[in-house]
Amino acid sequence: EVYRVPEQTDPRCSSHVSSHPPGQAPIGDMAEGRMGCQAAVVNLPSHKGAFPLANRPCAVVVGGERCDESSGDLPKVKQFKSVHIFDIEARAWRSDELVPDMSVPRTAAALCVGVGRIAA
């Protein structure tokens, strides 16, 4: 989900809750739903672009886990090492793999962002 938080002085600020802004289509779900993931907003190249030109603000979603119901006493938990990229301007999930997967699956990892780096 993408949330837009207007400032209190913004005339659009009201108690009315909308699932998406008027005139805009809703955003599609991630390929794999997850919890316990972390995200950072970084500039990446456009869809057909290449580094060093990083001019598209994107949310990079890293790791997490999915807990599925199981027939036994304990739920089945799957941790992810995958990275998903959401292009904020296009309001769409990207299918290219600009950011590589982590080496091992992680849940609730901390992210640090520096010039040209995302560290988990």
For residue 18, the model assigns a pLDDT of: 54
Q: Domain for residue 80, yes or no?
A: yes
Q: Which residue range(s) make up the domain with 112? A: 38-119
Q: Domain for residue 27, yes or no?
A: no
Q: Domain for residue 1, yes or no?
A: no
Other Cβ atoms closer than 10 A to 87: 17
Q: Domain for residue 33, yes or no?
A: no
Q: Domain for residue 5, yes or no?
A: no
Q: Domain for residue 4, yes or no?
A: no
Which pLDDT tens digit goes with each residue over 79-91? Answer: 999 999 999 999 9
d(CA 113, CA 120) in angstroms, rounded, equals: 9
Q: Domain for residue 10, yes or no?
A: no
Question: How many residues are there in the chain?
Answer: 120
Which pLDDT tens digit goes with each residue over 33-55? Answer: 889 999 999 999 988 888 888 89
Count of structural domains, the chain: 1
d(CA 34, CA 16) in angstroms, rounded, equals: 28
pTM of whole model > 0.85?
A: no
Q: Domain for residue 14, yes or no?
A: no
